[in-house]
Chain A
Amino acid sequence: MSVETTGIEKVLISILRDFLESDHVLSGETNLVSDLNLASVQVMEFVVEVEDHFDIAIDLESLSNIHTLSELAEAVRQSR
């Protein structure tokens, strides 16, 4: 994993905290749905925030293949 992706992960974790009600241990391997029990609506809202933060756009088809924070970080890196 690149240094850039690691840095993106940290930002993602920071944004994600606002969507969680309890203190989860978050890492690149955290699965947004199965580990955090986020509803699909919450995942979409999280992604919109991520897009706005990084000034990027991620299409829904790409998102369907993203499950973990590190996968999302890689998608963010590629979209920049």
Chain B
Amino acid sequence: MTTLFDKFSAVMDERQALTGAATDPTNVVVDKMVSATEGVIAGRATILAGTNNYLGLTFEPSCVAAGQHALANEGTGTTGSRMANGNYHSHKALERELAEFYDLPHAMVFSTGYGANLGILTALLQPGDCVLLDADAHASLYDGCKMSGADIYRFKHNDPDSLEARLRRLGDRATRTLIVVEGLYSIIGDCAPLQKFAEIKRRYGAYLLIDEAHSLGIYGDNGRGLVEAQGITEEADFIVGTFSKSLGSTGGFCVSQHEILSLMRYTSRPFIFTASACPSVIATTRAALQVMRDRTELRTQLWKNAHQLYAGLQGLGLSTGPEVSPVVGVRCADQEQAINAWHRLLAAGVYTNLIVPPASPDGSSLLRCSMSAAHTSAQVDAIIAAFEAVLVTN
């Protein structure tokens, strides 16, 4: 006789494989944050090399002060949805500022990045519509597409020919099709050929949604992301992003050239039935957005660090992604080596992200690093040295 809980036996086996050693890679506890790039884990000072804190703004004084001011003046939470009592002046101000930042007419703020993808996709799509989804797209994109009831077709990762072949096969349905991709992919650190995707969508009359969660603040002269760097901001129908990476807080957003976005406030269930973001979170996000716009040197420093890490790891002969980016995924021979190396890196005072199947994009096992503008050159050297000790001179 089967029971409701039987499905968890496979999960228990997976957990057992991960938790054989002292620290569970999926449940690391940071006992104390020292700075944007350093914490204390298991009593040890640890360089944080897997945080997505790309611009290092989590301790930025102006952001902290803005959050404290909002806490004191607007309270700890909104206790309601944007559609009800949780729609403060600051939420609307952030939406205006995001629209102005992208030079697009419409913006919508969500309580999480995951919620932004769910909210937009479920509002935009319905049964009978089609989605062409990059094979490596984030779980939130897949979940949103699946929840919508639209027909989902996957195409080869970052492959315009694979995309076009499927769009062509859809025939008349192409004009009811949403192409869903990311800008910078968060595991390997590779970028999408957005110009080619935009050209294809234009030719077939389809629509394009780009998740720039890991690209915001990193690419483009103004930090608007890969859409800016590749010159397709106005061709993207929907740009989705998060506040929980470069902007150092939590939350998500969508900006668009289409008036239709403003109607989604009435139809997007993940938007309507979620409490709005805390005022302090909105305040730190607004402050961080301003810092990101004003201090372009942060982006310069981030890229300097990214080049240093990428060159260092490549110099060790390690298998990294195809291009330099603030995300560097180091491929391991197998899951066992990855888990072992992850533990040894942590013991050496370097925290990375362990990525193993099914979370990895191509079934491989990786150690993922993300650089921050706040990393010092000495910290980057220490990360490289730790990789050398663990994976090279092993």
Contacts and interface: CB of A to CB of B under 8 A. Distances in A.
Contacts of B156: 48
B314 interface: no
B152 to A, nearest CB: 4
Interface stretch (B224-232, B235-243, B319-327, B356-364): B356-364
Interface residues of B, number: 20
28 contacts: A39-B357, A39-B358, A40-B358, A41-B358, A41-B360, A41-B361, A41-B362, A41-B363, A42-B363, A48-B135, A48-B154, A48-B162, A51-B165, A51-B166, A52-B162, A52-B165, A55-B165, A57-B153, A57-B166, A57-B169, A57-B170, A58-B153, A59-B130, A59-B151, A59-B152, A60-B146, A60-B152, A60-B153
A33 interface: no
A45 to B, nearest CB: 8
Contacts, number: 43
Interface in B341-363: 357-358, 360-363
Nearest to B145: A60
Contacts of A44: 135, 154
Interface string B180-209: 000000000000000000000000000000
A41 B357 contact: yes
B178 to A, nearest CB: 14
Nearest to A42: B363
By secondary structure, the B interface counts as mixed
Nearest to A57: B169
Nearest to B142: A60
Contacts of A39: 357-358, 363
Interface residues of A, number: 16
Interface of B: 130, 135, 146, 151-156, 162, 165-166, 169-170, 357-358, 360-363
Given A51-B166, A60-B152, 18 more contacts: A39-B358, A41-B357, A41-B358, A41-B360, A41-B361, A48-B135, A48-B155, A51-B169, A52-B162, A55-B169, A56-B169, A57-B166, A57-B170, A59-B130, A59-B151, A59-B153, A60-B151, A60-B153
Nearest to B133: A60
A44 to B, nearest CB: 6
Interface of A: 39-42, 44-45, 48, 51-52, 55-61
Contacts of B165: 51-52, 55
Contacts of B151: 59-61
Nearest to B152: A60
A39 B358 CA distance: 8
Contacts of A56: 169
Nearest to A59: B151
Nearest to A79: B169
Contact of A60 (B154, B169, B170): B154
A59 B130 CA distance: 9
A41 B135 CA distance: 9
Contacts of B360: 41
Which of B162, B165, B360 has the largest number of chain A CB atoms within 10 A?
B165
Nearest to A60: B152
Contacts of A58: 153
Which of B155, B156, B169 has the largest number of chain A CB atoms within 10 A?
B169
Contacts of B152: 59-61
B31 to A, nearest CB: 35
A44 B134 CA distance: 12
Contacts of A42: 363
B217 to A, nearest CB: 30
Which of B154, B155, B156 has the largest number of chain A CB atoms within 10 A?
B154
